[in-house]
Structure 1
Amino acid sequence: MHRRRSRLAIATLGVIASLLAPTVVAASPAAAAPSGGKKVIANLFEWTWPSVASECTSTLGPKGYGYVQVSPPQEHVRGNQWWVAYQPVSYRIESRKGTRAQFRSMVDTCHAAGVKVIVDAVVNHMSGQDNGGTGWAGSSYGHYNYPGIYSAQDFHYCGRNGGNDIANYNDRFEVQNCELVNLADLKTGSDYVRNRLAAYLNDLLSLGVDGFRMDASKHMPAADIAAIKNRLSRPAYIVQEVIYGAGEPIQPSEYTGNGDVHEFRYGKDLARVFRSERLAYLRNFGEGWGHLPSGVASVFVDNHDTQRDVGGVLTYRDRGVYALANAFMLGWPYGSPTVMSSYTFTNRDAGPPSDANNKTRATTCYSGWECEHRWPVIANMVGFRNATEGTGVSNWYDNGNNHIAFSRTGRGYLTLNDEDYAITGRSYYTGLPAGRYCDVIHGTFSNGTCSGPVITVDGNGWFSATVPAKDGIAIHVGARLS
């Protein structure tokens, strides 16, 4: 949950634009960095459970995504806005996205496709409805009363600023003991609340879930999250939402002992570079820019919160430039990347495509669903990421402006041209074995063949090519033609 959520809560560029249409046990019970060789996460925001299951089988597994992040599955307040899912009223696995049985089936299906499941877990707070009401699955609730779960003594009441809402992000106490836009703030320092939250997470683990995105982590002391983590029944991947604020007392680095942490500066810095600075500046992108250490950083071009902050990050509306930025993220070795998959919206509070009863419609990758994770440029670069995992950067080149190129040593090579003109007549040193490679920016590699251009690397590791304006070339050893 973004701290600035409302209480109610470029034109297509270059040759690349034609490729955007979708095609049909650790020592402690949490681990930093996704496990295994496939680390890319697809955030299927507000997708129904049957739709997620189908996508794991048809796209996520075959394209090499290692994880799918799903939206909060617990019972929530009624409404059609996107943020109703972030207002729990009970911990029943019953929401506008589907039933408990459908959720379990989704997890099993994704696992069968080789895709692990991360749940967006709302553990900082309950609802923000002053008058209470009836939740999605029929549970009655009040603002500070959730029968059988929580009552008045289980919440913080900071009593500042004429109420309980956070007003000053430079006050640690206020940020972690007052309410985020009226959402009833759980007393996560109490054993009862910790046990109840752990019971919810353990229920999800019993259904096969592999990890958790801990929503609004900044609004809980890191020690409270650690205490909840230590109550988990088995190891789980944990990533925490902690939004960086310059000069604020609560910093993302405080939370790295619990697992990964979202690096919100990444998307904003990347957008600024692609929009108004120089790609040449990306040579040391990540830790060299003051970001979190790579091994604990969870990165994204945009997510469901930041894409609603106009101008702050690149989003699906930026089309070709957005695709290029995602290609860079998946090609660059810093952090663990998450690819956003959205629905289109014009109102920042707008919920997903839904029926008259506000039940989310099945995802079809049209009729309002954007499905960026299927854009060929992005989906094919997931294979690049997998093929180059664990390698460093070498053979960096830039023209001092907006044309860059680099190797992922011995495994892959990426060049991006964000200039307004084509780069012609240039040779690139890749350090790759000689051979013919599928350019995965423009083509899909399958069964030893390539649907797009083929790049020939000579015996000395070089190739020559023209890179059109606002475009790129990517090759890797996993897409080498026989």
Structure 2
Amino acid sequence: MFPRVLVAVALVAALLTVPSPGGPPPAAAAPSGERDVIAQMFQWNWDSVGRECRDTLGPAGYGAVQVSPPSEHVVLDGEGHPWWQDYQPVSYDLDDTRRGDRAAFAAMVADCHAAGVKVYADVVFNHMTGQEECGTGSGGSSYCHYEYPDAGYGYGDFHHCGRNGDDDIADYHDRYEVQNCELLNLADLDTGAPYVRDRIGGYLNDLLSLGVDGFRVDAAKHMAAGDVAAVLDRLNGPAYIYQEVLHGAGEPVTPDEYLGNGDVYDERYARDLARIFDSERLAYLRDFGTAVPSDQVIAGVDNHDSQRGGSTLTFRDGARFSLANAFMLAWPVGTPRVMSSYGFTDFDQGPPSDATGKTLDADCSSAAWQCEHAWQPIRNMVGFHNEVGDAPVTRWWDNGGDTIAFGRGDSGYVVLNDRAGPVDGRWFATDLPQGTYCDVLHGDPVDGGCAGPTYQVNADGWFRADIGAHDGVALHTGARVTG
């Protein structure tokens, strides 16, 4: 899905180490514990994802990577190869996309699995293309707006809702329009038809045969929950499912309708978090939660849509973006998903590419790629998340404003200060065992030591810290200094 709004945001100076990834941590620093954090590697090509699984995601403790849609898509060279061309399928072939071919995709899955990282594919099956004219897809398949021979679809396999003249959705408060009319002129598949369900099921099973572990279902709210369920019933094996169900005020289609199919991404989490950071007080986070049950919601600070829509924090918010991600990874709500993206100056801009529109290898040392997943405070908070597991929130403290602190049982403790000024010489009470701890927001745990600042927790669980403006401290038992 892609809203047509772009808000220009000023780049904020970061006091945490955020503009560059700071180099991958050594493999020996890989945290223990259950791994469920997802890295959304938006528009990364297959070779780059495989390399990043080996070099960063696996060692940092990420549990999975979400990759962009792997099916054949339209090629819009006249529009500069916008990012959203990938969300307009032409066929379900994997032979040639802007990110690589079938062999490269299979190699990427193998590389990620070898690093202990699962692969979740972003899949689009609500619709096909939005172009009225005929064309040729990235793999050479010919198509027209309601004719896709290589996908096996013809005119009768699509909804023709008969409203609004051009069949587009006009009223998002009308369930019929939302689920039977066209989203931005995209040819809307009749997912209630058994034949269409079979075709989509075949595509998903092809991905499973290559080792894919799960699917992010794009535009799920534009299909009836029962239609999505019927497609998923055709899977040949187990897969983790999470569905994009964006909910606006007063809309009739709600995320809870889809919980029987799997987990859901509910952007209200990110919007609420941004509102608190931007215009309220961090103290309000004490009871932060979601309308969707915690064990079925995908939590995120931003995603590829909201980056361009202005409703959430993004990499442009620098240190405050890192603080929001640190909170998400420390707080026991949902399955965290970390956004990793590229820089852009306009809404439609695609990833760094060659003259033919093929995505270039990602380079985290280049300003063209943001690589938020590898920013030191975000990367190391994945280890914090894994270490604390399902431990309860303890020892909450706040100053009534924008400085908060809390523990996760006796496994971790985090302090976050979003004030414009520092917090000097404060003592914090924790349940951590006595010892010396690496501050993982500013240093990497390495071979029992710490490449950064450390803090001494005394026998009563107290430690003293000076916290800078828009900064913090994070300690956990997996990053104790033993040397």
Superposition TM-score, scaled by structure 2 size: 0.94
Change (3 A) 1:455 1:46: same
Change (3 A) 1:238 1:397: same
Residues 396 and 405, structure 2, Cα contact 8 Å, conserved in 1: yes
- After superposition, the CA RMSD in angstroms is 1.3
In structure 2, how many angstroms separate the alpha carbons of the residues matched to 1:459 and 1:186?
63
Match of residue 139 from structure 1: 141
In structure 2, how many angstroms separate the alpha carbons of the residues matched to 1:137 and 1:6?
30
1:241 aligns with 2:244: yes
Match of residue 320 from structure 2: 321
* Per-residue deviation, residues 187-245 of structure 1 (Å, max 9, x unmatched): 00000000100000000000000000000000000001111111100010000000011
SS at match of 1:322: helix
Match of residue 37 from structure 1: 34
Residues 4 and 347, structure 2, Cα contact 8 Å, conserved in 1: no
Match of residue 356 from structure 1: 355
SS at match of 1:181: coil
Change (3 A) 1:257 1:5: farther
Residues 6 and 349, structure 1, Cα contact 8 Å, conserved in 2: no
Match of residue 31 from structure 1: none
Residues 426 and 465, structure 1, Cα contact 8 Å, conserved in 2: yes
Query: Given the alignment, which residue of 112, 115, 134 partners 1:113?
Result: 115
Change (3 A) 1:11 1:96: closer
* Per-residue deviation, residues 231-288 of structure 1 (Å, max 9, x unmatched): 100010000000011111101110111111012011111111111110000001113x
1:81 aligns with 2:82: yes
Residues 45 and 360, structure 2, Cα contact 8 Å, conserved in 1: yes
Deviation at 1:11, TM superposition (A): 4.4
1:103 aligns with 2:105: yes
1:333 aligns with 2:332: yes
Give 1:51's aligned amino acid. Answer: S
Match of residue 217 from structure 1: 220
SS at match of 1:481: coil
Give 1:76's aligned amino acid. Answer: H
Matches within 5 A, 1:12-91: 12-13=12-13, 15-16=15-16, 18-24=17-23, 37-79=34-76, 80-91=81-92
Aligned-pair identity (%) = 57
Deviation at 1:299, TM superposition (A): 1.1
Match of residue 346 from structure 1: 345
* Per-residue deviation, residues 305-362 of structure 1 (Å, max 9, x unmatched): 010013x111111111111111111111101111001100011000000000011111
Deviation at 1:185, TM superposition (A): 0.3
Give 1:354's aligned amino acid. Answer: S
Deviation at 1:414, TM superposition (A): 0.5
SS at match of 1:176: helix
5+ residue gaps, structure 2: 24-32
Aligned residues: 463
Change (3 A) 1:11 1:359: closer
Residues 417 and 471, structure 1, Cα contact 8 Å, conserved in 2: yes
SS at match of 1:105: helix
Match of residue 265 from structure 1: 268
Match of residue 196 from structure 1: 199
* Per-residue deviation, residues 405-440 of structure 1 (Å, max 9, x unmatched): 000111100010111111112111110111111000
SS at match of 2:149: coil
Match of residue 185 from structure 2: 182
In structure 2, how many angstroms separate the alpha carbons of the residues matched to 1:323 and 1:82?
25
5+ residue gaps, structure 1: 25-35
Deviation at 1:96, TM superposition (A): 0.5
